[in-house]
């Protein structure tokens, strides 16, 4: 409680760090980026499910180990729908809660404090917007209401009902709580009863660090990676993949899939920085410094349109905040977003990370080093001051939008 009150006082005082000109300039960054193309508004009136996958990183997609696919179900879905392989992580210390905030608000997380512990009113959040469109909004996550302050935050965000730990039978536990198998199975029964159309965010939990649980022991033969963190990670992901396959099949059987847009994505990195050499060994890529690390700082995304009108792979570079504008695009929502949130269906080759990091094409810019790495020729060079100023402004204006304007 004392930490929470300290955080509230801290955020309350944040407004005084910015003058009226700063705040006005931040407001001016809100623009209408969506294009009125053939896809715009095509799924207005359909259901929306945002499926957030715990610690899921896309380097497992399409990979095999000892001749066995790690993610056979997701591999199949990636071929049938629209895959976003270069979806960069924009979370910081808030982890899973940061990802929820980013996707629902189209803004970056803040590096100094978890957004879910601010007095933010989330004025432009997806649940609020969908309520204005006549939807009911829900979140399903088998954890306590108090964890990450979700009970309060979801009410502020406009969520009608949070299906939390109290709403689920805890009949099988893995690591933090209810297994994904049981969570998704029980959630289907709730989804069947929801008034249509609905907005529903679902958050899985079984693939949480440290990934080692007796229920995963026989999931996958990981060979030389047995007993390592990445070996345990691969087993847990193989388990999650099977549950997603069952979940999607059940949605189809119940006739829900044909009227629902599903966007699934990883919430944050699974392999920690101090285990980067295990990751490098598995993906066969050198990770020697921060430039290499942030170049691999990706989760993964999949957009499932009910009529499969768009298939294939997004070749651009995107961030989790772009999911927000993507929803605008698909559902015909005419609201402004910032430069950090644009539709995944637009060609885009850059992404901002809240730590002061900028990925543009095949270059990674780290403002805290004043240098960038050009991966085309494997050279590290000084960053032009104009680029540093641009990155810092994007981050500054984002933080004002989060901490001041949305209060």
Which segments of 263-331 does DSSP mark as H helices, in order? 276-283, 290-295, 322-331
Q: Furthest-apart CA pair in the chain: how many Å?
A: 60
- Contact partners, residue 255, CB within 8 Å, separation at least 6: none
CA dist., res. 262 & res. 41, Å (int): 15
Q: How many CA atoms lie within 13 A of 384 on its CB side?
A: 3
Beta bridge partners of 266: 53
Catalogue the active-site residues.
96
CA dist., res. 234 & res. 255, Å (int): 32
Element (H, E) at 23: helix 20-28
Q: In what order do the strands lie in the sheet with 350-353?
A: 350-353, 357-360, 363-366, 371-374, 379-382
How would you classify the pairing of strands 82-84 and 363-366? Answer: unpaired
Beta bridge partners of 43: none
């Amino acid at each position: 409680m004392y930490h929470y009150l300290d955080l509230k006082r801290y955020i309350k005082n944040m407004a005084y760090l910015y003058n009226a000109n700063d705040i006005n300039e931040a407001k001016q960054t809100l623009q209408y980026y969506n294009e009125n193309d053939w896809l715009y508004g095509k799924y207005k009136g359909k259901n929306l499910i945002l499926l957030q996958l715990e610690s899921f990183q896309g380097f497992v997609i399409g990979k095999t180990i000892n001749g066995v696919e790690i993610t056979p179900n997701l591999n199949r879905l990636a071929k049938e729908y629209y895959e976003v392989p270069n979806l960069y992580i924009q979370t910081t210390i808030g982890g899973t809660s940061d990802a929820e905030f980013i996707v629902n608000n189209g803004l970056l997380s803040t590096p100094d404090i978890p957004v879910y512990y601010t007095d933010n009113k989330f004025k432009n959040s997806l649940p609020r917007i969908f309520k204005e469109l006549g939807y009911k909004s829900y979140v399903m996550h088998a954890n306590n209401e108090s964890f990450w302050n979700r009970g309060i935050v979801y009410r502020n965000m406009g969520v009608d009902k949070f299906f939390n730990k109290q709403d689920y039978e805890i009949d099988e536990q893995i690591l933090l709580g209810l297994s994904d198998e049981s969570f998704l199975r029980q959630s289907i029964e709730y989804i069947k009863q929801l008034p249509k159309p609905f907005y529903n965010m679902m958050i899985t939990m079984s693939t949480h660090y440290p990934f080692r649980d007796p229920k995963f022991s026989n999931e996958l033969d990981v060979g030389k990676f047995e007993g390592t963190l990445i070996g345990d990670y691969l087993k847990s992901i193989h388990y999650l993949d099977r549950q997603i396959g069952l979940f999607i099949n059940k949605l189809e059987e119940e006739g829900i899939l044909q009227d629902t847009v599903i966007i699934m994505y990883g919430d944050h990195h699974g392999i920690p920085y101090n285990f980067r050499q295990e990751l490098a060994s598995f993906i066969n890529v050198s990770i020697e410094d921060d430039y290499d690390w942030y170049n691999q700082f990706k989760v993964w995304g999949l957009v499932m349109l009910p009529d499969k009108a768009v298939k294939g792979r997004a070749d651009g570079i995107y961030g989790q905040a772009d999911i927000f504008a993507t929803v605008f695009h698909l559902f015909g929502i005419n609201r402004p977003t910032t430069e950090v949130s644009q539709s995944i269906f637009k060609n885009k080759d850059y992404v901002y990370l809240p730590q002061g990091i900028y990925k543009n094409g095949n270059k990674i810019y780290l403002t805290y080093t004043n240098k960038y790495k050009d991966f085309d020729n494997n050279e590290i060079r000084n960053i032009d001051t104009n680029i540093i100023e641009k990155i810092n402004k994007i981050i500054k204006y984002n933080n004002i939008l989060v901490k001041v304007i949305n209060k």
